Amino acid sequence: MGRVNTSSPFLNEVIAAIRVRHYSIRTEKTYVGWIRRFILFHGKRHPAGMGATEVGEFLTHLAVAGNVAASTQNQALNALVFLYKAVLDRPLGDLHGVIRAKKPQRLPVVLSREEIAGLLRHLEGSHWLAACLMYGSGLRLMECVRLRVMDIDFDHQAITVRGGKGAKDRVVSLTDTLKRHLSSVRNIHAKDLADGYGEVWLPHALARKYPNAAREWGWQYVFPASRRSTDPRSGIIRRHHLDESSLQRAVKIAVRKAGIRKPASCHTLRHSFATHLLERGMDIRTVQEQLGHKDLRTTQLYTHLLRRGGNAVVSPLDHAPGSGRA
């Protein structure tokens, strides 16, 4: 296990509990951050001396005073449930009286095909290709940057998305843009091997079962980082995947350069993928499978976008007296 480097013995204990369960480093940072905020909110009291009441007060504070989104409040709740169950061995049980943050009932932002083309014109290299995949295959941001070479099946024009939201695998259609890119990625991997590196991060169980797999071509990331880095847990020098924040930044800049006024992001490409499939008459169940939605009602949200514009409703202004004036 890598070095634990906080000044708090208790938070070190939390980190140890997270790492022994092989949670991702993103989850580790998120959980430790929320547990630290919970402790500070209650005047640095030790969590062992608190319980469901104090957790409820903190979550209510986030919703009322902090005005956080529902997903943010749920993130904090997950961290504190883990704290009391896995670290303190005192499961919280039901939390009564907590004011829950409201989930906004907003329709997703969708770009037209012309706007998509304009956005893509202002991207290049790996950022361009990743954006093509998010729009062409409906991938989420992290699903895209975490793709491995073995997940690409050119023979069947398919991508296997492993461990997507809800820890479920799914197969999506493959856009015809990857072959040349993978050739350059293979050259990068060959150079890493020649330099004495070439190892990629693997989930703990796989790394233990297949100790040589981390250096194999099939396990390498489709979108590798531009340089090698040191794993903060193990200290091993590896080439990780493309930093998701750099892709988010590139898409935001491209949106601005393309003159798009909508608040578009990487996830907008996924929304646009779903909406454009439905516009072309794709069966909603097929779209649900492509997106990896557990509940069909989530996918049906996109049908509201189809009804919102186009020829769905004729404005009364069109038939109003004097409406033809310039």
For this structure, is 46 an active site residue? no
Please give the structure tokens belonging to residue 25: 């480093």
Q: Is residue 302 flagged as an active site residue?
A: yes
Q: Using CA atoms, how far apart are residues 232 and 281, in angstroms rounded to an integer?
A: 47
Q: Is 140 a catalytic residue?
A: yes
Q: Which of 122, 127, 189, 270 is labelled catalytic?
A: 270
Q: Which two tokens stand for residue 15?
A: 């980190």
Cα–Cα distance between 291 and 274 in angstroms, integer? Answer: 8
Q: Which of 19, 37, 165, 215 is catalytic?
A: 165
Rounded Cα distance, 268 and 138, in Å: 10
From CA 139, how far away is CA 265, in angstroms rounded? 13
What is the distance of C-alpha 12 from the center of its chain?
A: 27
Interior angle at CA 268, CA 29 and CA 309, nearest 5 = 150
Active site residue 23: no
170-202 exposure pattern, b = at least 16 Cβ within 10 A, e = fewer:
bebebeeebeebbeebeeebeebeeeebbbbbb
C-alpha to C-alpha distances, 251 to 87, 114, 120, 248, 259, nearest whole angstrom: 40, 16, 9, 5, 12
Q: How many DSSP H helices and E strands does the chain contain?
A: 13, 5
Q: Could you confirm whether 146 is annotated as catalytic?
A: no
Of 122, 140, 170, 271, the catalytic one is 140
Out of 61, 228, 252, 267, pick the active-site residue. 267
Which residues are known catalytic residues? Answer: 140, 165, 267, 270, 293, 302
